[in-house]
Amino acid sequence: MDLHSKFPAISDLRRAARKRIPHFVWEYLDSATGDERTAQRNREGLDRVLFKASILHGEFKPDLTTMLLGRGFPLPFGISPVGMSGLIWPGAEKALAKTGAELGIPYAISTVATQTPEDIAPHLGEHAWFQIYPPRDEAIRDDMISRARGAGFSTLILTVDVPVASRRERQTRGGLTQPPKLTPRLAMQAAQCPAWLNGIRQTGMPRMKTLDKYSDFKGQLPSTEHIGYLLRTSPDWDYLKRLRDAWTGPLIVKGVTQTEDAVRLEEAGVDALWVSNHAGRQFDGAQGAIECLPQVCRATTLPVLFDSGIESGLDIIRALALGADFVMLGRAWHYALGAAGENGPAHLADMLRKDIEANMGQLGTKTLADLQHRRV
């Protein structure tokens, strides 16, 4: 099957995945919070980033290689951490870890993934990142990062834009609980998606397995909360300092949108900043993330990563042109899994690569660094 003919864009993957993923899971994956205005502003902000096409550059092959945190990457994008990834598509964490290893790009696993760091260890490449929601108990924190390091995760991501659970009204209406439980209504939805259901039968009903070690909680929680909220804290600057002291590898802080925070984070000794508004899933009164990116880049000498609203190779170019050193995607990889199974992620990566190359050809930009010179 020619996946480029069947799924030439992320929108095609999304459309196909929606048919193969149960509705209650889809609402978890695809929703934002509130009226989803921040998600809309993410899209509108990206659309406002325009370029000047350039002509008569002759034949050339764009160079997509880039450096980040002292390492070279063949592509300027990677795989973001997504909570409960294996609920969205059975076996997602292993499939995406393998994709990252095969492509030589970063794969980041969430604290609240359905597989443990130890489960994923055999499938990791050299660019394995662990995202941590900060445990309140420092002994749990130290054990968690020790497990991540022992499993082969070299870079730690501290997510700071989830101080409390958000509302995510669509997700709540969908009927998902934590841990997930197939009520009669949800079981009917699952029965309409046989590929997903067969996968769940093989993997078992997903849960946040990394956290099993730290809690014996047996109850049910709302869909927007989970067992992690019983263990975690809302970090402050002192917590960041203690985490910096505890982790000897590269430390990225995810969820940065303000210049004053960027300056202070650099002073605190973090290694990279990640501009993100959590794709509009946390706060519906925020600016589009892309609007925050240039000011953060101007405020720091650190590498800057970006996510929130990326839907194409052109969007990746937009973020790079505004100063990002690297771009991360989360939902798109899961659309790819839902649409095409384990073949989907490699197809998505190839689609994005070709889209970036085609647009760089139109702009006459031979390197990623040249993109900033083609902005309108």
Could you please report the per-residue DSSP string of 100-146? HHHHT--EEEETT-SS-HHHHGGG--S-EEEEE--BSSHHHHHHHHH
Kindly report the backbone phi and psi dihedral angles of residue 107, in degrees, each rounded to the nearest multiple of 5, phi listed first: -120, 125
d(CA 320, CA 290) in angstroms, rounded, equals 10
**Dihedral-angle region of residue 17 (phi above 0 means left; psi in -120 to 50 means alpha; beta otherwise):** alpha
Interaxial angle between packed helices 289-299 and 313-321, expressed in degrees from 0 to 180 and rounded to the nearest 10: 30
d(CA 24, CA 290) in angstroms, rounded, equals 29
For residue 212, the 8-state DSSP code is G
d(CA 46, CA 53) in angstroms, rounded, equals 17
Tell me, yes or no, if 57 is annotated catalytic. no
Which residues fall within 8 angstroms of residue 309, CB to CB, at 6 or more apart? 39, 42, 43, 45, 46, 279, 280, 288, 289, 290, 315
Q: What is the pLDDT of residue 180?
A: 86
CB of 38 within 8 A of CB of 173? Answer: no
Q: What is the pLDDT of residue 244?
A: 98
Q: Which of 147, 25, 155 minimizes the C-alpha distance to 100?
A: 155
CB of 177 within 8 A of CB of 222? Answer: yes
Write the burial class of residue 328 (CB in 10 Å: 0-12 exposed, 13-18 middle, 19+ buried).
Answer: buried
Q: What is the pLDDT of residue 229?
A: 61
Tell me the pairing of strands 304-306 and 272-275.
Answer: parallel
Residue 193 is encoded by which pair of tokens? 């998606």
pLDDT in tens, the chain (376 residues): 699 999 999 999 999 999 999 999 999 999 999 999 999 999 999 999 999 999 999 999 999 999 999 999 999 999 999 999 999 999 999 999 999 999 999 999 999 999 999 999 999 999 999 999 999 999 999 999 999 999 999 999 999 999 888 889 999 999 988 888 889 999 999 999 999 999 999 999 999 999 988 876 555 555 555 566 668 889 999 999 999 999 999 999 999 999 999 999 999 999 999 999 999 999 999 999 999 999 999 999 999 999 999 999 999 999 999 999 999 999 999 999 999 999 999 999 999 999 999 999 999 999 999 999 999 9
d(CA 324, CA 312) in angstroms, rounded, equals 16
CB of 145 within 8 A of CB of 157? Answer: no
Catalytic residue, from 123, 127, 226, 278: name it.
278
d(CA 46, CA 42) in angstroms, rounded, equals 6
CB of 16 within 8 A of CB of 10? Answer: no
Q: What is the pLDDT of residue 4?
A: 96
Residue 210 is encoded by which pair of tokens? 């990394």
What three-state secondary structure class fits 56? coil
Q: What is the pLDDT of residue 224?
A: 59
